[in-house]
A = this chain, B = another copy of it.
Amino acid sequence: MKNILIADDHFLVRDTIAAYLDAAGDFKVFTAHDLGTALEIMDGLESIDLLILDYNMPGMNGLQGLERACKSYPACKVALMSGVANRDVANNAMKQNARGFIPKSLSASSFINAIRFILAGETYFPFDYGTTSSEEKNYGDFAKISTREMQTLEQLCIGLSNKEIARNLDIQEVTVKLHVKNLFSKLGVSNRTQAALLAKERHIF
C-alpha cells in the first residue's frame, strides 16, 4: 500500500483523482490545496511515497515549488502535473529531480499506469507532449474552476438559491449569478440541477 499526496488547488480535479486512486485499492491517498499544506503533511506522521504537484497552485511560483519539494524530501518521488504547461516547462521539470510529468489530458487508466510506473522507480514523461512550445489547449477534464466558483458549486450541491448562496458567501446575488453562469459553461451543463448532479456524480462534494 503506497502513500500518495495530491496537491492541487481545484477541488474538482483533486478530489476526482483522489477518489479514482482510492477506488483502485492499492493506494492510500492524501490531499492538499496548496504547496504550504502539502509540505506540512510531508512533515507529518505519514511517509509519502509519491507527491504529485499541480504546476498552477498557490505557493508553486512556477518550478520553484517543485525544486523546493525535491530538495526538502529527496527520498520522496515528486511528479509535476499540469493541464496548461507547455513542453518547455515539462522539460525543465525533468531537468530538476522530478520523476514524472503528468498532463491532465491523460486518460484515467493512463494516469494510473503512469503512477505505478513512477512508484516502480521509473520516470514518466510523455514525449509527444506539446509538440510546439507555445501550444496550449483546453484539456479534456475540466476548464480551471476558480476558488470562488468552487465554493458556489458546493452550495449548489445542497440545492440553495442564488440569494442564499450570496448570503453565505457574503457577496451580492448578481455576483453569484456570474459564478453560476461561468460554472455552467466550464462544466458543460445548462442549469443548476445538472451542475449539482454532475458534481455529485463525480463525488466532488
By a beta-carbon cutoff of 8 Å, the part of chain A in contact with chain B is: 156-159, 161, 189-194, 196-197, 200
Contacts and interface: CB of A to CB of B under 8 A. Distances in A.
Contact of A197 (B159, B161, B189, B190): B159
Given A159-B190, A159-B191, A200-B200, 4 more contacts: A157-B197, A158-B197, A159-B193, A196-B196
Contact of A191 (B157, B161, B189, B194): B161
Contacts of A156: 193
A7 B161 CA distance: 38
Nearest to A195: B159
Contacts of A158: 194, 197
A166 to B, nearest CB: 16
12 contacts: A156-B193, A158-B194, A159-B190, A159-B191, A159-B193, A159-B194, A192-B193, A193-B196, A196-B197, A197-B197, A197-B200, A200-B200
